[in-house]
A and B are shown apart, each in its own frame.
Chain A
Amino acid sequence: AQSVTQLDSHVSVSEGTPVLLRCNYSSSYSPSLFWYVQHPNKGLQLLLKYTSAATLVKGINGFEAEFKKSETSFHLTKPSAHMSDAAEYFCVVSEASGTYKYIFGTGTRLKVLA
Chain B
Amino acid sequence: DTGVSQDPRHKITKRGQNVTFRCDPISEHNRLYWYRQTLGQGPEFLTYFQNEAQLEKSRLLSDRFSAERPKGSFSTLEIQRTEQGDSAMYLCASSLTAASGRGEQYFGPGTRLTVT
For the complex formed, measure the closest distance between the CB of B89 and the CB atoms of chain A, giving whole angstroms: 10
A100 lies within 8 A of B31 (CB):
yes
For the complex formed, measure the closest distance between the CB of B11 and the CB atoms of chain A, giving whole angstroms: 15
Among B32-91, those with CB < 8 Å from A are 33, 35, 40-45, 48, 55-56, 91
Interface string of A68-105 (1 = CB under 8 A from B): 00000000000000000000001000101111111111
| Interface residue A12 (Cβ < 8 Å from any Cβ of B) | no
**Total cross-chain contacts (CB, 8 A):** 60
Q: How far is the CA of A45 from the CA of B109 in the complex (A)?
A: 10
Which residues from B are CB-within-8-Å of A97? 101
Which residues from A are CB-within-8-Å of B56? 98-99, 101
A100 lies within 8 A of B101 (CB):
yes
Which of B55, B102, B110 is in CB contact (< 8 Å) with A43?
A: B110
A102 lies within 8 A of B45 (CB):
yes
Q: Can you pick out 8 interface pairs between chain A and chain B where the beta carbons lie within 8 Å of each other?
A: A34-B104, A43-B107, A43-B109, A51-B102, A99-B31, A100-B31, A101-B56, A103-B45
Interface residues, chain A, with chain B CB atoms under 8 Å away: 32, 34, 36, 41-46, 49, 51, 90, 94, 96-107
